[in-house]
Amino acid sequence: MTRAVVDTNVLLVANDDHEGVSEECIIACIETIDEIRRRGVVVIDDEWKILGEYHHKLNPNKGQPEPGDAFLKWLLQRQANTKHVVQVPVTETAQDWFEEFPGHSLQREFDPPDRKFIAVAAADDGNPHVLQAADCKWLSWWPQLAEAGVRFRFVCPEDVKRFYRGKFDGPVPELPEDE
């Protein structure tokens, strides 16, 4: 069974709402969230920080929802069912600053809205993967976080490497091994 913290961009890519991603990436994101709905457990925080971001960027009440919107609707309907959703507490000591985030120096480098995903993954005893689609900055950060026990899965490895090459100089960092 898949246990995952799902970054919002996975859902946005599934909705074809991310400029420059490949058709393969869109399909991979749709397949990933479908697999989670069938056999997975989504890990979120118990104060709706993740659900709040999803709700801000997605619309689960559309007449004909896109895949990411449908995933949010599914999540909202099952948020109390621990077979599908686990809620963990995280300690936000300042705006977008979490005690559970491993390595406070790295937390300073991280985009503030993305910190909650790492904090939730670190707080969950089930050792979930953080699913990431196309945010290439995470390629530089995942090794240090992996050393602290946070696992990653890049759903769109070719796209994230392509975005990295377009944004940064130097070699593209390695991706984590699939487990």
Percentage of the chain beyond pLDDT 90 is 85
3-167 fold: Rossmann fold (3.40.50)
Alpha carbons within 13 angstroms on the beta-carbon side of residue 175 total 20
Q: Which pLDDT value is given to residue 99?
A: 96
Q: What is the pLDDT of residue 177?
A: 80
State the average pLDDT for the chain.
94
Q: What pLDDT score was predicted for residue 18? A: 92
Average the pLDDT over 39-49 and give the result.
Answer: 96
pLDDT at residue 66 greater than cutoff 90: yes
The model carries a pTM of 0.94
pLDDT band of 38, cuts 50, 70, 90:
very high
Map tokens 């999540």 to a residue: 75
165 sits in the region (left: phi over 0; alpha: psi -120 to 50; else beta) called: alpha
Q: Answer whether residue 1 shows pLDDT above 80.
A: no
User: What pLDDT is attached to residue 178?
Assistant: 61
Band of pLDDT at residue 104, cut at 50, 70 and 90: confident
